[in-house]
Amino acid sequence: MSDSEKNRKDTQAADIMIAEAIQKIKGEITGEFNKKKGPPVGGVFYKVYDSARKTKKFKVEDSCIGCGLCAKNCPVDAIELQDKKPVWVKERCALCLACLHRCPKFSIQYGKNTKKHGQFVNPYVKL
Ligand code: SF4
Ligand code: SF4
């Protein structure tokens, strides 16, 4: 997220992969197209993900202007605006990070490392 040039290249590469996938689907071409091979990570990954979903790791900075976009954009209604500040009302969420990346003031942080990475907004997604 902190490297805008890498973000741009990754988005470009994804565009190409998506276009190829669309062509294969349209042409009803079947086969094994997964280029990335690796060990199955399901169980381990799920444990890490489940722990990361804990909303107590979110913090709001003083720069918050109480616009409510974070609550509006949360797909699982985990955020409520109380006294013009977001409050996480569910113990776990989907960890989509829309609240963090879509905040107009970058006021939401998650753990200790998100500040330095900045925000990323998918140019193709409108909320
Ligand atoms: S989107 Fe950002 S500025 Fe708006 S209420 Fe949420 S934290 Fe505050
Ligand atoms: S990370 Fe996504 S699911 Fe979790 S609180 Fe933020 S917007 Fe909601």
Ligand 2 centroid vs 48 CA: distance in angstroms? Answer: 17
Domains delineated in the chain: 4-117 (3.30.70.20)
Alpha helices in 1-84 (DSSP H): 4-26, 42-52, 69-73
The answer to whether the beta carbons of residues 125 and 115 sit under 8 Å apart is: no
Per-residue pLDDT of the chain in tens (127 residues, 90 and over written 9): 778 888 889 889 999 999 999 999 999 999 888 777 666 667 788 888 889 999 999 999 999 999 999 999 999 999 999 999 999 999 999 999 999 999 999 999 999 999 998 898 887 888 7
The residue assigned the tokens 């006021």 is 107
List CB contacts of 104: < 8 A, sequence separation 6 or more. 65, 67, 69
Which one of the ligands is nearest to 69 CA?
Answer: 1
- Give distance in angstroms: CA of 39 to centre of ligand 2: 29
Query: Token digits for 90?
Result: 């569910």
Q: Which atom of ligand 1 is nearest to the CA of 71?
A: 6
Q: Return the structure tokens found at 93.
A: 């969420």
Which ligand neighbours the alpha carbon of 108 most closely? Answer: 1
